[in-house]
Amino acid sequence: MPRPVHFEIHAKDPARAEAFYKDVFGWEFAKWDGPTNYWLIRTGRDTPGIDGGMIERKGDAPAEGAPVNGYVCTIGVTSLETYLTRAIEHGATLAVPKMATPGVGWLAYVKDTEGNILGIMEPDPNAS
């Protein structure tokens, strides 16, 4: 069955967004030599997952309290507490606090520096 192969982050301030994702998750960014301002994102080298891109936002960030207007990507981490703290220290705001997804793991949602919602999940089959 088809699976996601690429994601995009829309950012009003690409430099700020790049710093956030580098500092929090260690992602690598490379400016694409194409007709638009676009950055390629590498999220890892040796673990399963997908890579993506970043593009300058063509309008306003999602309004506070507005429903989600797109896909929400969830990042798998080894420690939810560590990455949640790191994200907030680097400018994210808490959108949904830590909660158990029974039999799957621990999950929280934050808004990045550009107002995009992302999930952070620590696998734990004993979560309840």
Residue bearing the bigger pLDDT, 34 or 15: 15
Phi, psi values for residue 112, rounded to 5°: -75, -175
**What CATH topology corresponds to 6-58+70-123?**
2,3-Dihydroxybiphenyl 1,2-Dioxygenase; domain 1 (3.10.180)
Q: Which amino acid is at 67?
A: P
Percent of the chain at pLDDT exceeding 90: 77
Domain boundaries, the chain: 6-58+70-123
Write down the mean pLDDT value for the chain: 93
Pairing of strands 51-56, 6-11: parallel
82 φ, ψ to 5°?
A: -60, -50
Gyration radius of the chain over CA positions = 15
Q: Which amino acid is at 128?
A: S
**Tokens representing residue 42 in the block:** 């590498």
Residue 48's pLDDT band, with cuts at 50, 70 and 90, is confident
H or E element that contains 28: strand 28-31
Q: What does the H/E/C string look like for 47-76?
A: CCCCEEEEEECCCCCCCCCCCCCCCCEEEE
Q: What is the pTM of this model?
A: 0.91
* Residue-level length of the chain: 128
Burial of 32 (0-12, 13-18, 19+ CB in 10 A): middle
